[in-house]
Amino acid sequence: MKNYLTEQIKEDFLASLKLLISYPSVLNENENGTPFGQAIQDVLEKTLEICQGLGFKTYLDPKGYYGYAEIGQGKELLAVLCHLDVVPSGDEADWKTPPFEAIVKDGYIFGRGVQDDKGPSMAALYAVKALLDSGVVFQKRVRFIFGTDEETLWRCMGRYNELEETATLGFAPDSSFPLTYAEKGLLQVKLHGPGSDFLQLEAGEAFNVVPAKASYQGAFLEKVIAGLRAAGFDYEETADEVTVLGVPKHAKDAAQGVNAIVRLAKVLQLLAPHPALSFIADAVGEDATGSRLFGPILDEPSGSLSFNIAGLTITPERSEIRIDLRIPVLADKEDLVRILSKKAADYQLTYEEFDYLAPLYVPKDSELVSTLMGIYQEKTGDTSPAMSSGGATFARTMPNCVAFGALFPGAEQTEHQANERAKLDDLYKAMDIYAETIRRLAGE
């Protein structure tokens, strides 16, 4: 297989990536009339300007939700699904280099977004530039779609899909190599119930985290501590509070965590009965695959259901349980919702769907997956199998799209962390794979 990259391409890629990193494109809703913040608007416009310079036709959504850059002709559309927003830097004291200034050192590039997702996006873009320089002609249109709200609510792709053309096929360079062909359905739910005069609780963080702490203050303090001790659960105590200690995990791996809210509920419901506690302790229990509720839910492409009790609120007026479910790609979501709602009703709880992302599933023996896997294997010699994931990429926003790269197996995953970094050689290797991929999928 040919390598289309030149030193000039690599240099130009690096210059553009450095420029994009310099925009702190963190969500800042409605700033200066933009939907997601001035820096996000600016980096979107700058990216389209770069694309224009490379020969693409570009389009900027007048409201600033997304933009795209297109090249080639033909009826079919190959989409490359990118995003330009980044998560906040976190505590800058934890960084050895300024997060929004790309620094190249010891073969690595440092800066917020070099892995997620500005680095991979630019690698795919300059892969096309390399093809153009080599005289490759496109028989499909290749469209880079630049989202701006990936780290939060995906409102960019929501609007794109309302207004714009959907892809014939495509990939999101926003995950790991070799390739993700299945991403579970992602359902976030709230169960609403009665309040309590004698029990006040507020526990949990985001939907996507297994809660590592759940605290109790109140009249049953001594008995709760005795109950936790008898059950062998970890906790820490102060004069007026006890905190159950769990093991935090991403909700997609809930079964590998220990849920502090569930443990507190198991002990507390014996002392201070409440429907929300009973639901958590009895209907769900500590099994984070949801099997007590649904029976075993799993399939070959994507594995087991994940069921994470993410949050619990009890006030005098109301109670609320927040749940994150990762649903195997072949499972019937409506069926699960029916069972969950019915069980909740037994505990005086009413079901509310908070958010839902449909699953991604492109079978392993599909032409898209076998082509991409073949290219990856030939370019790297690595025979790691295609993957399924409980995580979410833009690949699931369109039919016949998969997540493809750009992190290599064994490479350090530093996205969303301090000192986010990417090995330059890995980015060039990804670019080489993307060039061959786009040539094969859309070239003559």
Please give the residue ranges that form the binding site for Zn ion (CB under 5 A): 116-117, 174
Q: How many CB atoms lie within 10 A of CB 206?
A: 12
CB 304 → Zn ion: shortest distance, Å?
Answer: 24
Q: Which is nearer to Zn ion, 361 or 394 (CB)?
A: 394
CB 277 → Zn ion: shortest distance, Å?
Answer: 37
Strands 141-147 and 77-83, sheet pairing: parallel
What backbone torsions phi and psi does residue 84 show, to the nearest 5 degrees?
A: -110, -5
Q: Which is nearer to Zn ion, 127 or 406 (CB)?
A: 406
CB 150 → Zn ion: shortest distance, Å?
Answer: 5
CB 407 → Zn ion: shortest distance, Å?
Answer: 11
Residue 350 buriedness (CB in 10 A; 0-12 / 13-18 / 19+) = exposed
Chain position carrying tokens 């579970």: 184
Q: Which is nearer to Zn ion, 124 or 255 (CB)?
A: 124
CB 405 → Zn ion: shortest distance, Å?
Answer: 12
47 contacts 58 by C-beta, under 8 angstroms: no
Q: Which is nearer to Zn ion, 117 or 436 (CB)?
A: 117
151 contacts 85 by C-beta, under 8 angstroms: yes
Query: Which tokens belong to 80?
Result: 């490359």
CB 395 → Zn ion: shortest distance, Å?
Answer: 11
- DSSP three-state, residue 69: strand
Rounded Cα–Cα distance for residues 319 and 193 (Å): 5
Q: Tell whether omega for the bond before 403 is within 30 degrees of 0, i.e. cis.
A: no
Q: Which is nearer to Zn ion, 4 or 181 (CB)?
A: 181
Q: Which is nearer to Zn ion, 38 or 152 (CB)?
A: 152
H/E stretch holding 401: strand 401-403
CB 14 → Zn ion: shortest distance, Å?
Answer: 20
CB 117 → Zn ion: shortest distance, Å?
Answer: 4
Residue 292 buriedness (CB in 10 A; 0-12 / 13-18 / 19+) = middle
- DSSP three-state, residue 437: helix
Q: Which is nearer to Zn ion, 275 or 391 (CB)?
A: 391
Chain position carrying tokens 């399939």: 299
Chain position carrying tokens 């949050």: 311
Q: Which is nearer to Zn ion, 117 or 149 (CB)?
A: 117
